[in-house]
Amino acid sequence: MMIVPAGVKVHLALGYTDMRKGLDGLAMLVQQTLKQDPFSGHLFAFRGKKASILKILFWDGNGLCLFTKRIDQGGFVWPVMTGYGGSITLTPAQLAMLIEGIDWRVPERVWKPKLAG
């Protein structure tokens, strides 16, 4: 689970990204394609073509960090691409669901109490 501090935005890059890219390559994508500042302290999430690998790039104040996760079953749910090179913003709760492989767009609430008290 990732804890996102207050005021930090989560940007989800539309489409898929070459997962061979590392810190520098993803930072260049943030600058050139997403037109954002990779050193802003915000999180930038990228997904591979097969939807099984997720990378999140962020600046912690003194260096770039890269979080990577490969999901073993299923895939990471990504929005349908509406335009090339864009991004959408997620809430920290949606990011947590995304990392767990849950469909963050329509989360299913399965538990509710049967009796009060």
What pLDDT sits at residue 110?
A: 63
Q: Do you know the residue count of the chain? A: 117
Residue pair 9/42 in contact by the 8 Å Cβ criterion: yes
Global confidence as pTM:
0.83
Q: Which pLDDT tens digit goes with each residue over 57-116? A: 999 999 999 999 999 888 888 877 655 568 889 988 889 888 988 888 876 666 667 788
What pLDDT sits at residue 81?
A: 64
26 residue type, one letter: L
96: buried, middle or exposed (CB in 10 Å: 19+, 13-18, 0-12)?
Answer: middle
Distance CA 105, CA 16 (A): 18
Q: How confident is the model at residue 55 (pLDDT cuts 50, 70, 90)?
A: very high
